[in-house]
Structure 1
Amino acid sequence: MEQNKAAPQDIFAALRAGVLDCLRRILPELPEEATAKVAVEPPRDPAHGDMSTNAAMVVAKAARVAPPKLAAELAAALAALPMVAEAAPAGPGFVNIRLREDYLLGQVPVMLRAGEAYGDGTLGNGIRINVEYVSANPTGPMHVGHCRGAVVGDALANLLHKAGYAVTKEYYINDAGAQVQALAYAAYWRYLQALGTTMTEEDYAQAVPGGLQYRGEYLVPVGEALKGVHGDSLAPGARPADAALWLNTVREFAVAEMMAAIREDLAALGVEHDVFISEAQLVRDGVADRAIAALAEKGLVYEGVLEPPKGKTPDDWEPRPQTLFASTRFGDDVDRPLRKSDGSNTYFANDIGNHADKIARGMQQLVQVWGADHGGYVKRMQAATKALSGGAVPLDVLLCQIVKVMKGGEPVRMSKRAGTYITLRDLIDEVGRDAVRFTMLTRKSDAQMDFDLDRVVEQSRDNPVFYVQYAHARCRSVLRQAGEQGLADGLDAVPLDALRDPAELALIRRLTTWPRTVEASAAAREPHRIAFYLGDLASDFHILWNRGRDDATLRFIRAEEPEATRARLALVAATALIIRSGLRVMGVAPVEEMR
């Protein structure tokens, strides 16, 4: 992804610079490292002002000054800054700050000149960060669980890019395990059906190692395609005697077909990865073996016997020597096996290879989005990444809880095509891509979600998708009307003194928090905060719109007040561009009008 250009002005960063300057004047001997945790943030209660800083509390110990005393001195110094209308000490060492209205008004042209680049940040500082998400086994269509992880991962990658990171979006294809072998047998059954076999499905299932695990109709086209490419050369009487030879052909073909279908599903969701990495290819290339050898050279691999897992009894536990990674040295609960009893790699060992490959490609930070059922896997993978990189490459993991799809107050029945679950395509076909993406971001990823098919298409304030899109559509409607009257040009240079109503100023204050929202959301790895912000912004705009219905002097376009009209149009244009900017982070297309 192309790297961001220089970030536009961020008033929170500007005031933080002012706070640090004041501290240096008050405490000239204060070491610079003492100010590292100084923050300027919106206060919890808007009645306390526009911003609040913890500076006095953070540096008081190093300065050997009581926090309340230092807060009072800092408040007096901040009150003299050109952007500050009032600064007052509060509590045990905070300073609450109210900005000058003319300073706030001056941010509107900053937004308009920056356009959708307003809010682009420098938090990432060009750091190369790899975001791996979806990474589903290529054994069937994308389902609702995959959908949430896909949306969260994609929105997070967009968010990190906006915050100044050099982002790589990656899909890790789990195509080397037993499940892919089971897929091959299932695809072969559909191939036999395409050839007209007289064998029953149950007879075949009994003859296959592990049984017939995948029975969905989605594999019917795969069997037909196998026949189209290979004819009857893979039939029982014609195929090679060595099962590994013909089954490998079927497996590779089935994986390719499944990945093509997955890419189509992801494209329908608006998700495009930069890189697809095959687990099977990494195994063939010996990446995992080399990574394990490197860990062994560091003295982190040994032969040992693990204690029985909790809940096991001596009767069902067989202690045996294993090749183990010393993951407890890096914060894990227990050391982890690297080899199975047959000498092949464990899934964990192959995953070590995956992370070693990312590090070898120059990634400086790793972020991965997993299903909640993988929560117990986090510590061991973070331990391995620390060991591989010498602690230089951090791994953050976001867990996505399950999604329950509802309609008419009842859970939706499973998909007939997939056989056992609701597919991503089912969901998109029902409500549309944008509604799916926005709704998936209305809850924190580790919170369970009910996806209400009725609610997400409802045109009401209770539907955040509609509410935010309606705000943008209203903005665009006003600007179209203004354009027809020749009023929409040069809005970044119009006087804004007419914008003094509390609802107008509240909207401007909300708009100015966008850069801070981007930075905080990226730092916390929480893209759902963007949806929350847009909901609050839409609410502020709708309040102002409704005020105009009740008070004619607040309407956006008034022929008798050309200067006030142009000022309000500038505010409307700024609102529209920041809504668009937020929606683009979420991967949602802004609408021009509601129908």
Structure 2
Amino acid sequence: MNIFDDFQRRLAAIIARLGSEGALPADLDAAKVVVEPPRDPQHGDLATNAAMVLAKEAKSNPRAVAALIQAELAKEPGVTDVEIAGPGFINIRLDIALYQEVVRAIVNTGRDFGRVVQATPEKVNVEYVSANPTGPMHVGHGRGAVFGDALANLLAFAGANVTREYYINDAGAQVDVLARSAFIRYRETLGERVGEIPEGLYPGDYLVPVGQKLAADHGRALLDKPEAEWLPTVRHVAIDMMMDMIRSDLAAIDIHHDVFFSERSLSVAPDQIKATIDDLRSRDLVYEGRLPPPKGAAMEDWEDREQTLFRATAFGDDVDRPLLKSDGSYTYFASDIAYHASKFVRGFTTMIDVWGADHGGYVKRMAAAVKAVTGGKGELDVKLCQLVRLLRNGEPVKMSKRSGEFVTLRDVIDEVGRDPVRFMMLFRKNDATLDFDLAKVIEQSKENPVFYVQYAHARCRSVFRQAETAFPDAAFDRNALRDADLSILTDAAELDVIRRLSQFPRIVEASALAHEPHRVAFYLYDLASDFHGLWNRGKEAPHLRFVIETDRNSSYARLALVDAVTSVLAAGLGILGVTAPDEMR
């Protein structure tokens, strides 16, 4: 039961009816009409911009259009009052019986309340993490990982067929640097004194096991070979072990991908990068030409030469982009074009990439590339995740000894737990810098959002344990609560909770459409706040307690409400990938 969708449909029917009767022009475009909660709850239960967006096309004053709609809305079942505000906004008040039925709908559907089932689900590819396989994941990677995973959960809940993908950057200079770094640990394992790790190589202790495996598998055989011979072997072992480490780090935060796609696979036979460039060239989207020097760049850093260029400007980019380096090898951009072309070939027209904020300058060119390789049929949405500032009681946390360069994600998970990491990574919009305080996220207070929300769920579960003691002859499953007399739920605090519950399907829909899972986290905090307020209301007014041993009828109605809160909290936490505990320890 989605009150907002219900009234959206009612409004569309009213507009069509007014059009057929000649009160409004026929076939008005109602696509921009929205129904939402008013900014000020004092103004009513629902608000719509219908008159405002239709007035121009109707060639009428917004308040005049609003008056026509107002008269029709007032006749609708469940509507108690309709008011016109300001220049033509329409505020609607509902009969509380309509809200009471929301509780019944949630009791009937449980954790599937708000879930969308599509007859033909849209195929969506969400690519996230995609950290270079050169070491353990750091906290910044963790934010993108959690964001991408929660977004995939959200889209699946909203009815999409989601594939979770990790792009392994196993080609290029960085993996050769990894191999050379691992080779030093191999020599060290064999007893050589290697001293300081040379600048430009990876110094972390995490490469020691790679050196040990190389020594166990090859003995001293690699020492006598030139780099050109040992590099591929060491690189392969190092990448495999780094990916095992990354998978383990991700599993610790309950993230699992459906597809791990190798960048290197694009350039082996058949060469998909060449095929993609050839296809673009056949459509006159690749040419040989020269680029002007980039603005602000020193002339000595710029090479004026003829290059193989993609016509990115034809698709909204600022400049055409090189596909080949001066040595004839492919640019990273060429590989990325071929990779996204492969997504389209695999049936994805909706592609979502989760990147670090430092890749912001790369967005336009990739959006242009996706338009080109898909013939305009594909759409790329890049979500940038800003930095995470890791603190302890407000002070910056020092780097990890294990990584040699940064604080690892695993260090943070081991210290504070999976749930605080996941929830707090989502309790701020992805494009805003996040302060993550290791001390604050384990506090048991309202100031700690993950505790506050989980505590609300645990409190709900404790109510049912109390009910089982008060009414030992009853089994408090949904079957026992479906026929509860919900007309009892009339207190202002109860109605506040129910109104919040009614918004969940709309939150899911809007969050999925905007690709913003943080909205779910914010909503859960607000729902928890409403529920904790209702809990405290029962202390002040004993007749509002959830369980009253002498009044089974009232108890069942309020237990139905608690059950509804439990289901929505659990569903929302599930979207975020956070557990819904029965008890807090």
Query: If the TM-score is normalised by the length of the shorter chain, which range does it land in?
Result: over 0.9
> Does the CA contact (< 8 Å) of 2:184 and 2:211 recur in 1?
yes
CA distance in 2, matches of 1:563, 1:316: 80
> How big is the shift at 1:79?
1.2
> SS in structure 1 opposite 2:186?
helix
**What's the CA shift for 1:318?**
2.5
Secondary structure of the 2:201 match is: coil
Amino acid at match of 1:190: R
Provide the identity percentage.
55
Aligned counterparts of 1:274 and 1:561: Cα–Cα separation in 2: 51
- Structure 2 counterpart of 1:24: 16
Partner in structure 1 of residue 142 of structure 2: 147
In the alignment, the residues of structure 2 paired with residue 169 and residue 483 of structure 1 have an alpha-carbon distance, to the nearest angstrom, of 42
> Is contact 2:128-2:355 (8 Å) kept?
yes
Which of the residues 102, 126, 129 maps onto 2:121?
Answer: 126
TM alignment of 1:132-281, pairs within 5 A? 132-201=127-196, 205=198, 212-235=200-223, 237=224, 239=225, 241=226, 243-281=227-265
The C-alpha deviation readout for 1:153-191, integer Å capped at 9, x for no partner, is 000000011111110000000110110110000011111
Aligned letter for 1:304?
G
DSSP 3-state at the match of 2:170: coil
* Among 282, 295, 305, the residue aligned to 1:310: 295
The secondary structure found in structure 1 opposite 2:60 is: coil
Residue 552 of structure 2 is aligned to residue 562 of structure 1: yes
Aligned to 1:444, what secondary structure does the other structure show?
coil
Which amino acid counterpart does residue 278 of structure 1 have in structure 2?
Answer: S
Partner Cα distance (2:26, 2:442) in 1: 56
Per the alignment, in what secondary structure is the counterpart of residue 231 of structure 2? helix
- 1:44 CA drift (Å): 1.3
- Do the aligned partners of 1:121 and 1:518 also contact (CA within 8 Å) in 2? no
Note the 1:355-504 alignment, pairs <5 A: 355-484=340-469, 485=471, 486-487=473-474, 488-489=476-477, 490-504=480-494
Give the letter aligned to residue 143 of structure 2. Answer: R
Backbone CA RMSD of aligned residues: 1.4
1:325 and 2:310 correspond: yes
Write the letter of the residue equivalent to 1:533. Y
- The answer (yes or no) to whether the contact 2:393–2:440 under 8 Å persists in 1 is no
The answer to whether the 8 Å contact 2:184/2:194 transfers is: no
Rounded to whole Å, the distance in 1 between the matches of 2:572 and 2:452 is 14
Work out the CA distance in 2 between the residues paired with 1:513 and 1:523: 15
One-letter amino acid matched to 1:592: D
Gap change, CA 1:31 and 1:183, over 3 Å in 2: farther
Give 1:31 shift.
5.2
1:540 to 513, 527, 530: 530
Give structure 2 stretches of 5+ with no counterpart. Answer: none
Aligned pairs for 1:96-135 within 5 A: 96-121=91-116, 126-135=121-130
What is aligned with 2:79? Answer: 84
Q: Is the 8 A contact 1:120 1:164 kept in 2?
A: yes
Q: Show the counterpart of 1:352.
A: 337
After superposition, the C-alpha distances for 1:433-452 in whole angstroms (9 at most, x for unaligned) are 00100011110011011101
**Quick one: which of 6, 31, 34 aligns to 1:14?**
6
What secondary structure, in the 3-state scheme, does the structure 1 residue paired with 2:260 have?
A: strand
Decide whether the 8 Å contact of 1:72 with 1:88 is kept in 2: no
Q: SS of 1:538's equivalent?
A: helix
Shift of 1:198: 3.9
**Separation in structure 1 between the aligned mates of residue 298 and residue 424 of structure 2, nearest angstrom:** 46
Note if contact 2:122-2:161 (Cα within 8 Å) is conserved in structure 1. Answer: yes
Distance in 1 (CA, whole Å) between partners of 2:503 and 2:13 is 22
Q: Distance in 2 between matches of 1:368 and 1:350?
A: 15
CA distance in 2, matches of 1:90, 1:464: 36
Equivalent residues of 1:359, 1:389 under 8 A apart: yes
Report the Cα distance in structure 2 between the residues aligned to 1:317 and 1:302, rounded to whole angstroms: 20
Q: Structure 1 residues 223 and 212, CA, compared in 2 at 3 Å: closer, same or farther?
A: farther
Mapped partners of 1:191, 1:33: distance in 2: 73
SS of the residue corresponding to residue 106 of structure 1 reads helix
* 2:562 corresponds to: 572
Match of 1:505 in 2: 495
Letter in 1 for 2:252: A
Aligned AA (1:216): G
- For residue 22 of structure 1, what is the amino acid of its counterpart? I
Kindly provide the amino acid, as one letter, of the partner of residue 580 in structure 2: P
Deviating more after overlay: 50-59 vs 251-260:
50-59
Structure 1 Cα separation of the partners of residues 79 and 176 of structure 2 = 66
* 193-202 or 476-485, larger mean C-alpha shift: 193-202
Q: Distance in 2 between matches of 1:461 and 1:348?
A: 46
Match of 1:53 among 42, 48, 57: 48
Is contact 2:129–2:141 with CA below 8 Å preserved after alignment? yes
The SS at the match of 1:420 is coil
Is residue 2:281 matched to residue 1:296? Answer: yes
How far, CA to CA, are the matches of 2:301 and 2:115 in structure 1? 57
CA distance in 2, matches of 1:32, 1:545: 49
- State the Cα distance separating 1:37 from its structure 2 match: 1.5
What SS class does the counterpart of residue 29 from structure 2 fall into? helix
Matched-pair contact (CA < 8 Å) for 2:28–2:54: no
Question: What's the CA shift for 1:201?
Answer: 4.1
Contact 2:19–2:26 (Cα < 8 Å) also in 1: no
3-state DSSP of counterpart to 1:257: helix
Q: Using a 3 Å threshold, how does the CA distance of structure 1 residues 217 and 554 change in structure 2: closer, same or farther? A: same
Partner residue of 2:34? 39
What secondary structure is seen at the aligned counterpart in 2 of 1:27? Answer: helix
Residue 497 of structure 1 aligns to a residue whose secondary structure is helix
Deviation at 1:297, TM superposition (A): 1.1
1:74-128: CA deviation from partner (whole Å, max 9, x where unpaired) = 0111111112121112222221111111011011111111111111126896110
Shift of 1:69: 0.6
Check whether the contact 1:138–1:180 (CA below 8 A) recurs between aligned residues.
Answer: yes
How far apart are 1:359 and its partner, in Å? 0.5
Q: Does the 8 A contact of 1:185 with 1:212 survive in 2? A: no
In structure 2, give the amino acid aligned to 1:586.
L
Give the C-alpha shift of residue 309 in structure 1.
1.1
Q: Deviations over 1:211-259 (max 9, x none)?
A: 5410100000110011112222212x2x3x4x33321011011000000
Range with bigger deviation, 485-494 or 148-157: 485-494
Structure 1: 5+ residue runs without aligned partners? 1-8, 206-210
